[in-house]
């Protein structure tokens, strides 16, 4: 997938797209994981808090 992403970024750059336009395209096409900076949502908070709670309950 990395090769495909690099190729698409190159194509978009050749079309004269800005960095923001390229990032927006990649996020729309592949999701937030491509930025390595996912937005803070209730689900991501739950994914961070749940293991701590489980460890606390498990002792």
Which CB contacts under 8 angstroms, 24+ apart, belong to 8-14? none
**All structural domains of the chain with their residue ranges:** 2-58
Output the pLDDT for position 16. 97
The tens digit of pLDDT for each residue in 29-45 reads 988 888 887 778 898 89
Are residues 35 and 20 in contact, defined by beta-carbon separation less than 8 angstroms? no
Q: What is the pLDDT along the chain (59 residues), one digit of tens a residue?
A: 789 989 999 999 999 999 999 999 999 998 888 888 777 889 889 999 999 999 999 86
| Overall pTM surpassing 0.95 (yes/no) | no
């Amino acid at each position: 997938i990395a090769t495909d992403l690099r190729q698409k970024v190159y194509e978009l750059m050749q079309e004269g797209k800005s960095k923001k336009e390229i990032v927006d395209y990649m996020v729309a096409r592949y999701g937030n994981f491509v930025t390595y900076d996912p937005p803070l949502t209730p689900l991501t908070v739950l994914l961070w808090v749940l293991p701590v709670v489980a460890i606390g309950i498990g002792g």
